[in-house]
Amino acid sequence: MKIIRVQDQLEGGKVAFNLLKESLAKGAKTLGLATGSSPISFYQEMVKSSLDFLEMTSINLDEYVGLSTENAQSYNYFMRQILFDAKPFKKNFIPNGLATDLEAEVKRYDQIIAEHPIDFQILGIGRNGHIGFNEPGTSFEEETHIVNLQESTIEANSRFFTSIEDVPKQAISMGIASIMKSKMIVLLAFGEEKADAIKGMISGSITEDLPASVLQKHENIIVIVDEAAASKLA
């Protein structure tokens, strides 16, 4: 794991964007994208740039079950607002949280991932070490699946909803096995609430209790952290 310490999220977004440009120069065609607040400055750099993504495909990590694409809290809505409306892609894939047959949706998404190998994957990290919505205890072998969100995740994500009761209890998430197949991974973490997860991910043992720890096994991962998120590292 290569660790890059930055001053703040703004600088982190610029560093991540430069890494993206390097990948694009090497021919990257498929981007794996994440939601949450951590990648926002990275997306802003993409939007500000003169690059176009018309020949590129994106695959998002996850989506809440039960939210329509017009719900402002859905990840589909978030991605359009933050990136896709300003920078159209050839194709954007996001799980369909309103699918009536969730098992069929899981299979469809695995098929999409198999057909579009991810060249460059952006990740955030949950306070409990989750990546995508792969909560502690998720098998490292798992592909796309339906997740029952943990209380701590529901609570952390409730800041985006009117009340905690509005936070969906389930999500569809790309699995850890698929994330690990990405050619390159850039993980962003800012703020002291991420310090424990970052410490466990980088210097703890590799365990399904802390999903992000699996990333120690990835051969091409760069972790971008601010001082607060890095504060518990030796």
Residues 68 to 97: which contact ligand GLP by CB under 6 A? none
Of the ranges 14-22, 34-42, 65-73, 218-226, which one interacts with ligand GLP (CB under 6 A)? 34-42
Q: Where are the alpha helices (DSSP H) in 50-194?
A: 75-79, 102-115, 151-157, 176-180
Which of 12, 13, 95, 124 binds ligand GLP (CB under 6 A)? It is: 124
Which of 9, 23, 38, 74 binds ligand GLP (CB under 6 A)? It is: 38
The 205-234 site mask, x for binding ligand GLP (CB under 6 A), equals ------------------------------
Least gap, CB of 114 to ligand GLP (angstroms) = 21
Least gap, CB of 194 to ligand GLP (angstroms) = 7
**Positive or negative CA dihedral for 205, 16, 117, 77?**
positive
Catalytic hit among 130, 143, 145, 226: 130
Q: In this complex, which beta carbon is closest to ligand GLP, that of residue 47 or of residue 51?
A: 47
Catalytic hit among 60, 76, 128, 134: 128
Query: In the sheet where 53-60 sits, what is the strand order?
Result: 2-6, 221-226, 184-189, 120-123, 30-33, 53-60, 89-93
145-184 per-residue burial string, b: 16 or more CB within 10 A, e: under 16: bebebbeebbebbeeeeeeeeebbeebbbbbbbbbbebbb
Q: Which residues are catalytic?
A: 62, 128, 130, 135
